[in-house]
Amino acid sequence: MATTSAVVSETQPQTRAWPRVLLALGRVVLGAIFLYAAYAKLHFNGSWHLRDYYFFFGMAINSYNLLPLWAVELLSRFMPWFELALGFFLVIGIGLRLTSLIASALLLVFIAAMTRAYILGLEIVCGCFGNTEKLGPWTLTRDSSMLVLALAVALGAFLINRRRTAVSS
Amino acid sequence: MKPLRNRRIGIFFFVAAVVALSGSSVRPQTNAPAAPAAKSAPAKTSTPASPAAKPAAAALGSKTLGSKSAPITMEVFEDFQCPACGSFYETSLKLFIDNYVNTGKVYLIHRDFPLDMHPYARQAARLANAAADLGQFETVERALFDSQNQWSARGNIEEVIASSVPPAQLKKIRDYEAAHINEINASIERDRAMGVQRNVNQTPTIYVTAHGKTEGLPGGGVDYKLLSGYIEYLLRQ
């Protein structure tokens, strides 16, 4: 029995624990950020706004002057719940490759919109975490760091999955 | 096979959760009165008042419009030289005054928040305050925003708004401003201090008070349709 396991460990690629730990840490942090972003859109000015949050968030989205009003209204209703679900799935780690890719794509879109607004000199609120934060270099840097984290999680999830597939085959 | 099944289940729950949560916030909308410009960016022209609309009753000595007994109070922290304030006034506030202030639904309060980056903002605010004390606030506010891009470069405010405010009236306002300069400056500073206390960091910044609760709207101006949607929601409560 001991001989068999020794042979197996020699033929299988060596798996270390730290990439998994780092990945778990990264996805939990990223998920927590998305959960907080959703919370900040639903709870502000000292109270919950479950029935009127979309007016405030819609006003923030509309100030970017990017989307038609119907899209603004749709996005403002949908986005906080999408962020909540995304954060939840990232924290639990279900469908990590897909959720981390979605998070990366979402952040990429946000950063593109923010950069455009900043270049155009629009004096608006970011809308990222509530309605009071003004768009500026700090918000751009912060969201870019979040994008780096999301990409790292996505890369890690794909690499670990590839290694796992290689081991099982 | 099993990981694929797990992934499908995960995706299903993800989509279901988002649809269910966002769907729960969708409520039937009642019609906002007179939203003729039902588009995101109404043209930068003055929109006609509804036939039933009467001029807003400006209380003497105040920068307010509408009835004090209106169920909703809206405060707008503005800088007369700020382009975003000018745009907000032209595309949203004019129509809003016609449909909500003049109809007794909203009590509108102007708060001065001249920004240091705008060299003529205080000069314009002083003129508007003097006009307010003489019961002419609405006329002068309109004249200032309508011609903002003309006086913003050189600060020739009186020369520019002379086409919108009758000369005799303008002279009266100017004389009043000269005679009461200290009180007027103090009034502007009071508004500014109030803004600073409320963490106003850009203009226009709007606060809406209804049912005893005050909410700050995202700064930088709000589209008419979104603003009227929110006011309608508050009126329904």
Give the pLDDT band (50/70/90) at residue B39.
very low
Instruction: Give the whole-angstrom CA distance, residue B136 versus residue A131.
Output: 34
CA distance B166 to B174: 12
How many Cβ pairs closer than 8 A exist between chain A and B? Answer: 104
What does pLDDT average to over chain A?
A: 89
H or E stretch including B12? helix B2-24
Chain B residues lying within 8 Å of A125, measured CB to CB: 202, 218-220
Of residues A80, A26, A85, the one with CA closest to residue A53: A80
On whether any CB of chain B is under 8 Å from the CB of A160, the answer is no
* Cβ distance of A122 and B215 shorter than 8 Å: no
Q: How far apart are CA B133 and CA B140, in angstroms?
A: 12
Across the interface, do B217 and A63 touch by the CB < 8 Å criterion? Answer: no
Task: Tell whether B12 lies on the interface with A, counting CB pairs under 8 A.
Answer: no
Taking the CA of residue B83 and the nearest CA in chain A, the distance in Å comes to 10
Ramachandran angles phi, psi of B213, nearest 5°: -125, 135
Chain B residue numbers with beta carbons less than 8 Å from the beta carbon of A63 are: 218, 220-222
Q: Is A14 inside a domain boundary?
A: no
- Over residues B40-62, the pLDDT tens digits come to 333 333 333 333 334 444 444 58
pLDDT at A27 over 80: yes
In a domain, A8, yes or no: no
Chain segment B143-193, per-residue pLDDT in tens: 999 999 999 998 899 888 888 889 899 999 999 999 999 999 999 999 999
In a domain, A121, yes or no: yes
Q: Do the chains contact at A69 and B40, CB–CB below 8 Å?
A: yes
What is the spatial distance between Cα A35 and Cα A82, in angstroms, rounded to a whole number? 10
Axis-axis angle for helices A18-42, A53-62 (nearest 10)? 100
In sequence order, the 6+-apart residues with CB closer than 8 A to the CB of B189 are none
Integer Cα distance of A76 and A53 in angstroms:
8
Q: Which of residues 191-210 of B touch A (CB under 8 A)?
A: 199, 201-202
Instruction: Give the range of the structural domain holding residue A70, as residue numbers without chain letter.
Output: 19-168
Residue A97 is assigned to a structural domain of this protein: yes
φ/ψ of B64, rounded to 5, equals: -125, 160
In the block, residue with structure tokens 């690499």:
A159
| Structural domains in chain B plus CATH codes | 56-236 (3.40.30.10)
Nearest CA among B123, B202, B119 for reference residue B159:
B123
- Domain assignment present for residue A12? The answer is no
Tell me which of B6, B76, B113, B226 to substitute to probe the interface with A (most A C-beta atoms closer than 10 Å): B226
pTM equals 0.77
Mean pLDDT of A72-89: 96
Shortest Cα distance, chain A CAs vs residue B189, angstroms: 23
- Does residue A156 form part of some domain? yes
The model's pLDDT over B103-136, given as tens digits with 9 standing for 90+, comes to: 999 999 999 999 999 999 999 999 999 999 999 9
Q: Confidence band (pLDDT; 50, 70, 90) for A81?
A: very high
DSSP 3-state assignment of B221? coil
pLDDT reported for residue B11: 57
Q: Per the structure block, which two tokens stand in for A162?
A: 């590839």
How confident is the model over B184-206, as pLDDT tens digits?
999 999 999 999 999 898 899 99
CA distance B85 to B202: 10
**ipTM score assigned to the predicted complex:** 0.77
Residue spans of alpha helices (H) in chain A: 2-11, 18-42, 53-62, 69-92, 96-120, 137-168
Other beta carbons less than 10 A from residue B235's beta carbon: 16
> Considering its fold, how many domains does chain A have in total?
1
